[in-house]
Amino acid sequence: MDSSKFYRISKPLIYFKLMREKDRKQIESFAKSFYWTPKDYYWQHTLQVRKFSLLIQEKEGGDRDVVEVAALLHDVGKAELLAPGHEELSAQIAEEFLASMAFDKDKIELVGRCIRYKDPDLLEARILRSADSMSLLADDSGGREWYFENVLENNREKILREIEKSWSEIEFGHAREVVRGDYEKLEKEYSR
């Protein structure tokens, strides 16, 4: 193979990979700047949602970039509104930020739809919801305990409803298997 042809073909691919990594780092930095818990519980949650999202996406398909970016930005609105309704605020913040960095317009729209959790036909949104729910069940950073204490007021009924809701929102059997032990342990602990 003529090496000059290889160079011309591979150079744009290498450039694209570098730009993508640069974008990822910029998005990570932006997401990490939205504090809504003490310590870095929120960031540990976000990283775990990304990990679970990409795990599910590998098996189920969908746009990997949309899944990853939506996972990173899905809770940024909680810095202003730690309550139901933060999804809309998070989606707006994400869309504005991504537009400011000239992210692909079609992907921006999909990221917003994922974060809003209002489109059950969108695979990437189903992946994000499942991963977010998995994170509550599998958390070992201390963030779940903080959430139970400060948001759910250590109310056993509220906590058990949240555990059951999270379990029910995991749509993929292989994803459920990843957190089944965590779910069963929590259910047993809070059902007493």
> Can you tell me the distance from the alpha carbon of 102 to that of 104, in angstroms, rounded to the nearest whole number?
6
> Can you tell me the distance from the alpha carbon of 34 to that of 56, in angstroms, rounded to the nearest whole number?
25
Q: Which residue ranges make up each domain of the chain?
A: 3-191
| Tokens at 174, concatenated | 């292989």
Nearest to 137 by CA among 36, 73, 49, 13: 49
Q: If you average pLDDT over residues 80-90, what whole number do you get?
A: 79
Tell the residue number behind the tokens 């059951």, with chain if given. 164
pTM recorded for the entire structure: 0.86
> What pLDDT was estimated at residue 16?
35
Q: How sure is the predictor about 39, in pLDDT bands with cuts at 50, 70 and 90? A: confident
pLDDT tops 60 at residue 52: yes
- State what percent of residues in the chain have pLDDT above 90: 71
Q: Are 42 and 81 in contact (CB under 8 A)?
A: no
CATH architecture of 3-191: Orthogonal Bundle (1.10)
> Can you tell me the distance from the alpha carbon of 101 to that of 113, in angstroms, rounded to the nearest whole number?
19
| Tokens at 151, concatenated | 């948001």
In this structure, of 62-71, 146-155, 182-191, the range with the lowest mean pLDDT score is 146-155
> Can you tell me the distance from the alpha carbon of 37 to that of 49, in angstroms, rounded to the nearest whole number?
16
